[in-house]
């Protein structure tokens, strides 16, 4: 099997990859160690939000900071945002296109979108003078943030827009992409960046429900030329169901040598489906937000039952002892180890699971009363920190008393589920097991 790779600033990232959203420079409630342990290789930050807080002056300062923090390792790949977060993985900066849509189009509060750019009447609370936000602003700010992949400011096509509106948003998205390309190249030249030191630039394909305009948008963006392409707009309908036809269609509009970024996707099973269609970069707020909102993801593995899973954990817990005994030719330990292997083979194994089928997942609404006394871990077969250390009852309790550790434990688990699915799709060995996939 051919594994696609993303090469940026001398680093390689195997695809597919799932990037949790760290909108404000933080995957909420997680520190960089937890991120790493959960198998996260990259995150998405947001240009609009970071420009507001903390602002690029601060990020620029961090771009050249001497690595004084205890854990910071000097690296060529470091940048303002990476030093600030002390995060060494892939960082994508989203343009703010979504916020344009969300704040102005969806919520209809102040602001105006013209070909020139976006006029914010409200701006961020801290930054009322923001005024107009142009594609050039967005890309310049993204350089200051210092991400690896920058994204063109685009004009979001709404789910139910008329063809006239679709045309407008597509034309504007193309116009803005052109201007972004020019500005990007200008900055590359100014900064004397080379193909080995520059970030990548992605454009976003808009066009809503219209195949015609999606096609037109993709073709025009390809003519301009970018390092990768994104799927813009909504990929799901009001019921949250993936538009498979459209996601397949758009993926096919982009030649396979380009990375294809399905922005905002999605449910784990939709990621698995989209991967099959050719999309290979994903980001979504669901695992983190759902975690905070007390909805936990599990694989539904028919092989798992509580008794056996418990046994596996008990054996595992005495793991070190058992193994040392094993080496000293104890038959008992030998048997225990065999048993562990059998059970683990059965559990830590989603290989036989059709990851594209929603029926193979389940939600745990952890705040429900029935979990108050449940001593099982959240996922019977889960290898995450939360499941290796805490019971459903305890996580339930933490949510009840509103302790923020609840968020952290929930988010850790959800992200681990997402990453296990991704790892299964790609056969990527998770870094936590000893292999670092970025060179």
Burial class from Cβ neighbours inside 10 Å (0-12, 13-18, 19+) for residue 146 reads: buried
Window 317-356: contact mask with RNA (x via CB under 7 A): ----------------------------------------
> Contact between 214 and RNA (CB under 7 A)?
no
Exactly one of 8, 15, 89, 94 binds RNA (CB under 7 A); which one?
Answer: 94
Which of 101, 216, 277, 297 binds RNA (CB under 7 A)? It is: 101
Between CA 62 and CA 83 the distance in angstroms is 6
What single string gives the DSSP state of each residue in 332-377? HHHHHHHHHHHHHHHHS--TTS-TT-GGGEEEEETTSGGGTT--S-
Residues of span 37-76 touching RNA by CB under 7 A = 44, 46, 49
Binding mask 374-403 vs RNA (x if CB under 7 A, - otherwise)? --------------------------x-x-
CA atoms within 13 A on the CB side of 367: 14
> Least CB distance from residue 242 to RNA, whole Å?
7
Q: Binding segment for RNA among 69-77, 158-166, 227-235, 307-315 (CB under 7 A)?
A: 227-235
Question: Pairing between strand 281-284 and 17-20?
Answer: parallel
Rounded to an integer, what distance in angstroms lies between the CA atom of residue 201 and that of residue 219?
17
Among 113, 217, 284, 425, binds RNA (CB under 7 A): 284
- 178 is a site residue for RNA (CB under 7 A): no
Distance CA 271, CA 418 (A): 9
**Interface residue with RNA, options 14, 18, 20, 34 (CB under 7 A):** 20
- 132-133 and 149-151 beta bridge pairing: unpaired
User: What's the closest the beta carbon of residue 263 comes to RNA, in angstroms?
Assistant: 4
Q: Quick check: 135 binds RNA (CB under 7 A)?
A: no
Is residue 179 part of the contact set for RNA (CB under 7 A)?
no
Q: Is 246 in the site for RNA (CB under 7 A)?
A: no
The kind and range of the H/E element at 42 are strand 42-46
φ, ψ for residue 119, nearest 5 deg: -95, 120
Phi-psi region of 373 (alpha: psi -120 to 50; beta: other; left: phi over 0): alpha
Judged by CB under 7 A, how many residues of this single chain contact RNA?
A: 61
Kindly state the DSSP code that residue 432 receives in the 8-state scheme: G
Query: Contact at 8 Å (CB) between 159 and 106?
Result: no
| Residue 144 near RNA by CB under 7 A | no
Beta bridge partners, 94, equal 46
Measured between alpha carbons, how far is 201 from 93 in angstroms, rounded to an integer?
Answer: 10
Residue 83 vs 414, nearer CB to RNA = 414
> Segment contacting RNA (CB under 7 A): 63-71, 179-187, 257-265, 417-425?
257-265
Q: Is 224 one of the binding residues for RNA (CB under 7 A)?
A: no
**Interface with RNA by CB under 7 A: which residues?**
20-23, 27-28, 44, 46, 49, 94-95, 97-99, 101-103, 107, 109, 122, 151, 154, 156, 204, 206, 230, 232-236, 240-241, 263-267, 270, 283-286, 288-290, 292-295, 363, 365, 367-370, 372, 400, 402, 404, 407
């Amino acid at each position: 099997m051919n594994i696609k790779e993303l090469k940026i600033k001398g680093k390689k990232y195997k695809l597919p990859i799932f990037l949790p959203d760290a909108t404000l420079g933080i995957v909420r409630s997680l520190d960089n160690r937890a991120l790493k342990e959960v198998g996260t290789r990259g995150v998405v930050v947001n240009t609009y939000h970071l420009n507001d807080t903390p602002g690029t002056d601060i990020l620029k300062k961090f771009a050249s900071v001497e690595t004084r923090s205890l854990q910071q390792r000097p690296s060529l790949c470091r940048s303002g945002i990476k030093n600030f977060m002390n995060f060494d993985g892939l960082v994508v900066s989203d343009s703010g296109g979504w916020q344009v849509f969300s704040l102005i189009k969806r919520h209809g509060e102040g602001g105006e979108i013209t070909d020139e750019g976006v006029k914010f009447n409200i701006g961020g609370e801290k930054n009322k003078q923001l005024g107009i936000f142009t594609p050039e602003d967005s890309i310049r700010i993204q350089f200051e943030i210092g991400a690896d992949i920058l994204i063109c400011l685009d004009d979001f096509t709404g789910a139910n827009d008329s063809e006239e509106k679709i045309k407008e948003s597509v034309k504007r998205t193309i116009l803005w992409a052109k201007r972004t390309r020019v500005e990007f190249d200008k900055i590359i030249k100014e900064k004397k960046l080379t193909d080995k030191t520059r970030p990548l630039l992605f454009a976003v394909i808009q066009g809503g429900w219209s195949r015609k305009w999606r096609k037109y948008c993709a073709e025009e963006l390809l003519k301009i030329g970018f390092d990768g392409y994104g799927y813009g707009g909504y990929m799901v309908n009001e019921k949250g169901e993936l538009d498979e036809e459209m996601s397949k269609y758009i993926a096919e509009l982009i030649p396979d040598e380009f990375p294809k970024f399905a922005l905002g996707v999605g449910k784990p099973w939709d990621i698995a489906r989209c991967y099959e269609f050719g999309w290979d970069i994903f980001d979504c707020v669901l695992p983190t937000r759902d975690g905070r909102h007390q909805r936990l993801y599990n694989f539904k593995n028919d092989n798992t039952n509580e008794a056996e899973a418990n046994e596996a954990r008990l054996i595992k817990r005495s793991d070190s002892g058992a193994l040392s005994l094993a080496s000293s030719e104890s038959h008992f330990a030998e048997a225990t180890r065999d048993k562990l292997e059998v059970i683990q083979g059965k559990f830590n194994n989603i290989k036989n699971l059709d990851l594209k089928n929603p029926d193979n997942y389940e939600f745990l609404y952890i705040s429900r009363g029935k979990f108050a006394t449940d001593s099982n871990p959240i996922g019977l077969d889960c290898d995450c920190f939360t499941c290796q250390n805490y019971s459903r009852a305890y996580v339930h309790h933490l949510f009840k008393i509103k302790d923020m550790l609840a968020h952290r434990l929930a988010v850790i688990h959800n992200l681990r589920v997402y990453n296990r699915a991704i790892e299964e799709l790609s056969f990527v060995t998770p870094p936590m097991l000893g292999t670092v996939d970025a060179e």
